[in-house]
């Protein structure tokens, strides 16, 4: 009897301990009085958030205290924004993106060549979470233009700085077109290209980036299928800047989406379609992708960004004269970053002598932006470019925001969406937050097989403390197309946390680097031997 009474007292004591208010916990950071919004559960209520060891430890009505306190009264407390289409990997560009609430920055459309080197270069030096796919373009550069050309850069920003120009100069000297964009590889070359991609996947790349829209005359449907087949052997995503960006038959953007989506469905493999708003027939491709995913179980999804103009390099395939006619644009719809519109003479000069120059293409009506943003199922990305000077050098971390000419999406994407939600009522606020956080995490986890995202994109206890605090009444994008104003930071986002560390405090980016890698484990052996590469008739020396 005495033993039973002691057991009852012990159980009562434990229940009292468990019922103690949350304030008894020792939190690292507390965010008080904010409007907590969780897109997965649709929770929306004023709560206090306790953060411990990089995780959300409590979401409660109880009064709580921590070593550091943020007063979020009048502000939304939401999951940190995520995207898989941010080309900029330098510290200054990442800093600008933090002012826009981006806590996980990855590049799936292009990627990097040497994956082991890329992750090593960013370890301990990155403020947001970071990840990369292996870039098929650099594989083609290495094999078809030369490894010395590929060694000039390892990601998209560096591609612009040296690789594209050097490849073009070498090709011009040798009286040919650049190999990476225009050459049809024979079996031996294609095997080497695939070996390069396989090594990136073995090293933990998140998938394969195939910007086939830049290589429309060099990449056959067979080669494209092989990229997707190889990625499928690892269960990883293939991302496509799809073939064709036109609006007229027979090369509509929809055809390019269908090409890669059909491959994905045959292979039961994940496929992510880049920026469907960029003359990719978004009115038709978005419902088509949604139907494939929701009705057929396909592992496919697509993305859009909130700008009518795009940005690319001067030598891009879509800027051939026939390509511009296909898109319904002309020379004057293309502009340098200083605002100068092209004419025929500038077109010929820049494409020949400065093929890596970043330019802006005005190719969509502004009134369509709200329509494609509101389409169901799509995620919001920036397609942000590296913020570089006229010589394509990166700016130092502490460089001023003013005086930088770049497409405004590199700085203001998420704040622009939130401003449009407020001013134009384009969609409910919860849906907008979801398209910039939770929906990314859901697709990357459930479709793309990336386990890191099981604990991202959500405001729930136990989730990663990647958090953005913004004022829904004032959040605003300030970057514009005007020269010198492309990197002006967003305002109304006073606090951003990455892995439980305050990275933006009172709208000032702190010089701390808590970003963690998003990467698969390095494998002992690749999987190239699991696919076959058949002899093709592309080699002029073959009989």
Residue 176: half-sphere exposure toward Cβ, Cα within 13 Å: 13
Radius of gyration of the chain (CA): 24
**Spatial contact of 82 and 103, defined as CB atoms under 8 Å apart:** yes
Report strand pairing: 517-518 vs 129-135.
parallel
Could you say which DSSP state residue 454 is in? G
pLDDT at 537: 53
d(C-alpha 125, C-alpha 312), whole Å: 27
Mean pLDDT per 10-residue section of the chain, whose length is 543 residues? 46 41 74 98 98 98 97 98 96 98 97 97 97 97 96 84 86 92 94 98 98 92 97 98 81 91 98 92 96 98 96 86 85 93 94 88 93 98 92 92 96 98 98 98 98 98 98 98 97 98 98 98 98 70 42
pLDDT at 316: 84
Residue 22: phi and psi, rounded to 5, are: -60, -20
Those residues with Cβ within 8 angstroms of residue 517's Cβ, 6 or more apart along the chain or in another chain: 119, 122, 123, 129, 130, 131
d(C-alpha 357, C-alpha 390), whole Å: 9
pLDDT at 101: 98
d(C-alpha 109, C-alpha 237), whole Å: 10
Listed residue (258, 137, 134, 105) closest to 208, CA to CA: 134
**Residue appearing with tokens 């960006």:** 245
3-state SS string for 140-204:
HHHHHCCHHHHCCCCCHHHHHHHHHHHHHHHHHHCCCCCHHHHCCCCHHHHHHHHHHHHHHHHCC
- Joined together, the tokens standing for residue 467 give 């958090």
d(C-alpha 107, C-alpha 135), whole Å: 10
d(C-alpha 438, C-alpha 81), whole Å: 8
Q: Which fold has domain 80-336+363-453+514-518?
A: TIM Barrel (3.20.20)
Distance between terminal CA atoms of the chain?
96
Average pLDDT of the residues of the chain: 92
Q: How far is CA 46 from CA 31, 79, 294, 495, 517, in A?
A: 11, 15, 33, 17, 32
pLDDT at 317: 81
C-beta atoms surrounding 476 within 10 Å: 16
**Residue appearing with tokens 């802006």:** 360
pLDDT at 245: 80
d(C-alpha 94, C-alpha 86), whole Å: 9
Number of H helices, E strands in the chain: 18, 21
- The domain limits of the chain are 80-336+363-453+514-518
d(C-alpha 71, C-alpha 46), whole Å: 12
**Spatial contact of 48 and 63, defined as CB atoms under 8 Å apart:** yes
**Spatial contact of 215 and 140, defined as CB atoms under 8 Å apart:** yes
**Residues facing residue 44 across a β-bridge:** 37
**Residues facing residue 271 across a β-bridge:** 238, 300
């Amino acid at each position: 009897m005495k033993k039973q009474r002691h057991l009852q007292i012990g159980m009562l004591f434990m229940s009292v301990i468990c019922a103690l208010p949350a304030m008894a916990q020792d939190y690292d950071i507390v965010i008080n009085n904010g409007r907590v919004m969780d897109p997965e559960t649709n929770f929306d209520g004023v709560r206090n958030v306790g953060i411990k060891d990089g995780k959300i430890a409590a979401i409660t009505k109880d009064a709580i205290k921590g070593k550091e306190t943020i007063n979020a009264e009048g502000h939304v407390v939401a999951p940190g924004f995520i995207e898989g289409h941010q080309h900029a990997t330098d510290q200054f560009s990442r800093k600008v993106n933090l002012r826009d609430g981006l806590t996980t920055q990855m590049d799936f459309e292009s990627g990097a060549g040497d994956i082991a080197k890329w992750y090593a270069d960013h370890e301990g030096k990155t403020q947001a979470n970071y990840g990369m796919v292996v870039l098929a373009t650099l594989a083609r550069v290495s094999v078809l233009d030369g490894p010395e050309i590929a060694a000039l850069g390892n990601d998209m920003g560096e591609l612009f700085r040296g690789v594209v120009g050097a490849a073009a100069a070498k090709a011009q000297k040798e009286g040919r077109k650049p190999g990476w964009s225009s050459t049809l590889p024979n079996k031996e070359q294609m095997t080497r290209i695939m070996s390069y991609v396989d090594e990136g996947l073995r090293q933990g790349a998140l998938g394969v980036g195939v910007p086939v829209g830049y290589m429309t005359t060099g990449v056959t449907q067979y080669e494209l299928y092989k990229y997707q087949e190889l990625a499928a052997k690892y269960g990883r995503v293939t991302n496509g800047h799809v073939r064709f960006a036109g609006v007229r038959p027979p090369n509509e953007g929809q055809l390019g989406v269908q090409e890669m989506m059909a491959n994905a469905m045959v292979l039961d493999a994940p496929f992510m379609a880049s920026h469907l708003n960029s003359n990719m027939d978004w009115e038709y491709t978005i419902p088509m992708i949604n139907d494939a995913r929701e009705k057929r179980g396909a592992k496919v999804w697509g993305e859009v960004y909130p700008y009518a103009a795009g940005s690319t390099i001067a030598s891009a395939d879509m800027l051939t004269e026939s390509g511009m006619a296909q898109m319904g644009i002309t020379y004057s719809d293309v502009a340098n970053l200083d605002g100068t519109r092209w004419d025929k003479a500038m077109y010929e000069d820049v494409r020949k002598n400065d093929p890596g120059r970043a330019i802006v293409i005005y190719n969509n009506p502004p009134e369509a932006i709200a329509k494609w943003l509101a389409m169901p199922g799509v995620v919001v990305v920036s397609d942000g470019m590296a913020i570089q000077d006229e010589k394509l050098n990166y700016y130092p971390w502490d460089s001023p925001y003013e005086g930088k000419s770049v497409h405004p999406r590199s700085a203001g994407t998420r704040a622009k969406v939130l401003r449009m939600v407020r001013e134009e009522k384009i969609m409910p606020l919860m849906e907008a937050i979801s398209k910039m956080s939770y929906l990314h995490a859901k697709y990357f986890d459930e479709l793309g097989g990336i386990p890191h995202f099981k604990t991202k994109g959500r405001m729930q206890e136990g989730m990663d403390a990647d958090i953005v605090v913004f004022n829904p009444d004032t959040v605003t994008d300030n970057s514009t197309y005007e020269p010198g104003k492309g990197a002006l930071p967003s305002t109304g986002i006073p606090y951003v946390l990455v892995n439980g560390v305050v990275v933006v405090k009172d709208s000032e980016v702190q010089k701390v680097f808590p970003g963690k890698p998003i990467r698969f484990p390095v494998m002992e052996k690749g999987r190239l031997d699991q696919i076959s590469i058949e002899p093709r008739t592309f080699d002029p020396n073959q009989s």
